């Protein structure tokens, strides 16, 4: 279905919390340059999957990034390899200024001289952030915080962005705006793995998707296939 | 008036020592939500380390200060690594008990080395200046200025460096920080190094200003500095400095105008009353848990 290079390969991923399997042996691929979405209801295992990829939760199975097994790689070094997460609820440091939030994610970067150019790129995407660089992150509105979280992830020079429900808590209009930015970020060459409950929005922009139910992949296909699938229509698109 | 000015100077000297120690408590609490109850004993180790390098190696003031700060920093890093880090996910009470244990260990280790009280030989020429009836000693000047210099350096690190940003980020949410590519353990180590180093410097200055040092000197001073940190708002760096100076001032003023045995009783009563009205301390803010 895709002849692009495989960027991320998740093989037989299993995660358990206190004896309960949150993720039960799922496997999927993310190709370079794509937008891939993981759909599913609350508790389906979407966030747990992203946490495993970022290395902040122990798991069984294998996660390979550009062919490298991430099992033994500490979470902070995974960011250095080019995987950044925009966490659920945005995860803005409310006590740091907008500028500090944007620069904290550059810790692993070796090319410090390019940071300024990338800041310009982020301010070009989200001009509102530039007006607020000295403001504490906690004083921003929900939409601005989402922009800041996206900008912060981009500042790490990520090739793969893991997005955990970027539309959560935002008005439909703001969600549309954020998703437009996701398309722009993707067309600039960044691969996106997008976790969403809002299947409607996600499938508008995704090349391919996987549907999770209680820790298992129950359906997968291209964005178009999933949009047209009667089960999806019934369960997620309303 | 002269008397009050004189006492203010004494309060500044005592307050800067409390403030330096209080910073160590507040920094560790700020990032790990843990009270390092061994910190008062780090202060004591600072005094003894200074005594050792001055007495046996004849180091002058500046190198002795440097060795003391580095030595106690290392002690803090090692204690965190072997005693606190394995318990980071454990209930807080386990970590607190461990800290108390580390403190008792340090006291008795020092005691085992030599049970007699020690005295740090004079390190700087003792000069007294009298201006309008107020006497100012060279030691007082050094203690106050050195403390301010160390606190300013800390302020710079916390507010204007990459490490400082990471420290503040950890105090907001330690679980988010690895997702930024920041190695949390390294930042925790640096925090322990800074906080312990300041405590060590305070121990050295205390030992220079007071006639004897003994293995238990860190207990009461440590408690007082801890209370300073709480009064200022634990986890808040400016609060720790403010709390230290307030406690120093209250103690000196009480001793100046009331029988000196009332000192701790009145000082602590005032602080307890203050906490009733500001339970989060003077500069501390109640943090509402955001979802």
Chain A interface, best mutation among B163, B180, B287, by max A CB count within 10 A: B180
Residue A199, in any domain of the structure: yes
User: Chain B interface residues facing chain A, Cβ-Cβ under 8 Å?
Assistant: 162, 165-166, 168-169, 171-173, 175-176, 178-184, 290-291
Q: How far is CA B138 from CA B51, B81, B144, in A?
A: 20, 39, 10
pLDDT averaged over chain B?
A: 93
The percent of residues in chain A predicted with pLDDT above 90, rounded, is 86
pLDDT at A236 over 80: no
pLDDT at B291 over 50: no
Chain A interface, best mutation among B179, B182, B288, by max A CB count within 10 A: B179
pLDDT at B245 over 80: yes
Right CATH number for B2-125+132-277 from 2.60.40, 1.10.3470, 1.10.10, 3.30.70? 1.10.3470
The average pLDDT across B166-182 equals 96
Q: What is the reported pLDDT for A183?
A: 97
Residue A1, in any domain of the structure: no
> A15-64, pLDDT tens digit by residue?
998 888 899 999 999 999 999 999 998 889 999 999 999 999 999 999 99
Q: How far apart are CA A180 and CA B111, in angstroms?
A: 68
pLDDT at A1 over 80: no
For residue A141, give its domain range: 6-237
Residue A123, in any domain of the structure: yes
Residue A144, in any domain of the structure: yes
> B86-120, pLDDT tens digit by residue?
999 899 889 999 999 999 999 999 999 988 889 99
Residue A149, in any domain of the structure: yes
Find out whether A158 and A190 touch, Cβ atoms under 8 Å. Answer: yes
Residue that wins the pLDDT comparison between B106 and B257: B106
> B39-98, pLDDT tens digit by residue?
999 999 999 999 999 999 999 999 999 999 999 999 999 999 999 999 998 998 899 999
> A69-116, pLDDT tens digit by residue?
999 999 999 999 999 999 999 999 999 999 999 999 999 999 989 999
Residue A217, in any domain of the structure: yes
Q: What is the reported pLDDT for A234?
A: 78
Q: How far apart are CA A165 and CA A171, in angstroms?
A: 13
Residue A139, in any domain of the structure: yes
Q: How far is CA B187 from CA B182, B193, B287, in A?
A: 8, 10, 23
Q: How far apart are CA A76 and CA A106, in angstroms?
A: 11
- Considering only alpha carbons, which residue of chain A is nearest residue B177? A76
The average pLDDT across B252-272 equals 86
> A176-218, pLDDT tens digit by residue?
999 999 999 999 999 999 999 888 899 999 999 999 999 999 9
User: Chain A interface residues facing chain B, Cβ-Cβ under 8 Å?
Assistant: 54-56, 74-77, 79-80, 84-85, 87, 89, 91, 93-96, 100, 103-108, 152, 156
Q: How far apart are CA A33 and CA B4, in angstroms?
A: 73
pLDDT averaged over chain A?
A: 94
Return the closest-CA partner of residue A175 out of A143, A223, A207, A138: A143
Return the closest-CA partner of residue B31 out of B195, B148, B222: B195
Residue that wins the pLDDT comparison between A162 and A2: A162
Residue A167, in any domain of the structure: yes
Return the closest-CA partner of residue B200 out of B83, B12, B43: B43
pLDDT at A226 over 50: yes
CB contact under 8 A, A91 and B173: yes
**Total tally of structural domains belonging to chain A:** 1
Q: What is the reported pLDDT for A237?
A: 64
The average pLDDT across B274-287 equals 86
The percent of residues in chain B predicted with pLDDT above 90, rounded, is 80
């Amino acid at each position: 279905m895709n002849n692009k290079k495989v960027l991320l390969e998740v093989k037989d991923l299993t995660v358990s919390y206190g004896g309960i399997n949150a993720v039960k042996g799922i496997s999927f691929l993310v190709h370079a340059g794509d937008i891939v979405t993981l759909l599913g209801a609350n508790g389906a295992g979407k966030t747990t999957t992203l946490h495993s990829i970022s290395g902040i939760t122990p798991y069984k199975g294998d996660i390979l990034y550009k062919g490298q097994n991430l099992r033994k790689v500490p979470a902070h070094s995974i960011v250095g390899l080019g995987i950044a997460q925009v966490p659920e609820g945005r995860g803005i440091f409310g006590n740091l200024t907008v500028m500090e939030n944007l620069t904290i994610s550059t810790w692993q970067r070796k090319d410090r001289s390019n940071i300024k150019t990338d800041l310009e790129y982020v301010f070009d995407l989200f001009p509102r952030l530039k007006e607020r660089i000295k403001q504490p992150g906690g004083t921003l509105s929900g939409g601005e915080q989402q922009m800041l979280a996206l900008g912060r992830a981009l500042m790490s020079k990520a090739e793969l962005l893991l997005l955990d429900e970027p539309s959560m808590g935002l008005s439909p209009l703001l969600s549309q705006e954020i998703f437009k930015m996701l398309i722009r970020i993707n067309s600039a060459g960044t691969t996106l793995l997008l976790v969403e409950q809002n299947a409607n929005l996600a499938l508008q922009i995704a090349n391919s998707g996987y549907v999770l139910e209680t820790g298992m992949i129950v359906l997968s296909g291209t964005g178009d296939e999933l949009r047209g699938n009667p089960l999806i229509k019934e369960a997620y698109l309303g | 008036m002269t008397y009050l000015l004189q006492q203010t100077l004494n309060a500044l000297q005592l307050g800067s020592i409390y403030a330096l120690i209080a910073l160590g408590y507040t920094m560790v609490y700020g990032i790990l939500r843990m009270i390092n109850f061994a910190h008062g004993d780090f202060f004591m180790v600072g005094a003894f380390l200074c005594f050792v390098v001055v007495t046996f190696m004849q180091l002058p003031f500046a190198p002795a200060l440097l060795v003391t700060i580095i030595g106690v920093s290392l002690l803090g890093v090692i204690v965190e690594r072997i005693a606190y880090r394995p318990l980071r996910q454990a209930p807080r009470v386990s970590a607190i008990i461990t800290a108390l244990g580390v403190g008792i260990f340090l006291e008795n280790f020092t005691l085992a080395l030599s049970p007699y009280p020690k005295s740090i030989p004079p390190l700087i020429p003792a000069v007294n200046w009298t201006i309008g009836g107020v006497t100012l000693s060279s030691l007082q000047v050094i203690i106050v200025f050195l403390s301010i210099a160390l606190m300013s350096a800390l302020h710079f690190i916390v507010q204007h460096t990459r490490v400082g940003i990471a420290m503040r980020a950890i105090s907001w949410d330690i679980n988010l920080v690895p997702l930024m590519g920041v190695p949390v353990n390294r930042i925790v180590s640096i925090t322990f190094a800074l906080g312990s180093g300041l405590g060590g410097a305070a121990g050295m200055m205390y030992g220079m200003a007071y006639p004897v040092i003994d293995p238990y000197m860190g207990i009461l001073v440590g408690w007082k500095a801890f209370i300073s940190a709480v009064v200022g708002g634990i986890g808040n760096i400016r609060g720790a400095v403010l709390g230290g100076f307030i406690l120093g001032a209250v103690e000196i003023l009480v001793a100046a105008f009331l029988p000196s045995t009332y000192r701790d009783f009145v000082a602590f009563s005032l602080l307890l009353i203050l906490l009733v009205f500001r339970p989060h301390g003077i500069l501390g803010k109640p943090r509402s848990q955001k979802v």
